[in-house]
Structure 1
Amino acid sequence: MKKTFTLSGEVEASEYVPSTGEATMIILQEKLNDRKNIFILDEPEKSLGNTYVNEIIVPKLIELGKMKKTVIVVTHNANIAVRTFPYTSILKVYDNGNYKTYVGNPFVDKLTSTSNPDDTLNWKEESLRVLEGGEKAFEERGEIYGKNDS
């Protein structure tokens, strides 16, 4: 991209370098509109504000899901992880020097170990633990914005 400006009557051209957030928005907008069947996103929210994530990224991911596209997202962003209604969630847990992999979804509120079907975790509890500040952050949001007790 080129940008020109006038200073003291002289026109100068300089190369415009988008910020990290602007570059991310440009790339995401372009790639999420591709006619592909599989999308792999690694922390798409990185360098983006919550408004952009909530108003652009989350609706686009929901739209891709409705179009039966396969969308794989690596994220710690609660808005993406919860509001896109994931059919499958994968959780890696580090335990005593080893990684364990769990698979599940919010609809059954369960994550099951890929190596031991008797080893299960609660989807909601694990989401509260690993997403954006954990349970404390979710509780504080409820206190700040008010809870609907009805």
Structure 2
Amino acid sequence: MSIVIGTSYVWNVVAATVMGLQSVSFAGCAARQRQRLGLSHTATVGSRATESLSDAENDEFSRFQKVHEAHVEFTPLAQSSVLLAGLFYPRLSAWAGAAYIVGRLVYTVAYIRCGPESRKYGAVITCPAIITLLGATFYGSVKALGLCKNHH
């Protein structure tokens, strides 16, 4: 099996790029939020730097940091999966990448505005998207290696 990269793969590259921009832009939002609260750029949740914050400010800072950590943890997996799955199933993976992007946005807004219980709304979108991307990557790789024979 040979892999032919067609023009529809461009959407996978676009999705991976938007995922990266989404993560970087949220890092910028988190940095501006630290600055607004008068915290140093190295301040972390529960550190001495946050002792002067009110409970509401500390809770807000904590939510921003948790969302930022989630972006940092999942972006490499999402980006690599959308690019790899796109080699085998460019349209499916581009759509799954788009779903992941929307899910991450919903996750971020819900978590920051309403708290950790609300992140489930974004997770309901991102989890199936990641599973689709990982499944397409794995299945496409197995087929490309000739480990899965079609019985027709």
The structure with the largest strand share of the pair is 1
Shorter-chain TM band: under 0.3
Q: Which has the larger radius of gyration?
A: 1
**Structure ranking higher on relative contact order (CA contacts 8 Å, 6+ apart):** 2
| TM value normalised by structure 1 | 0.26
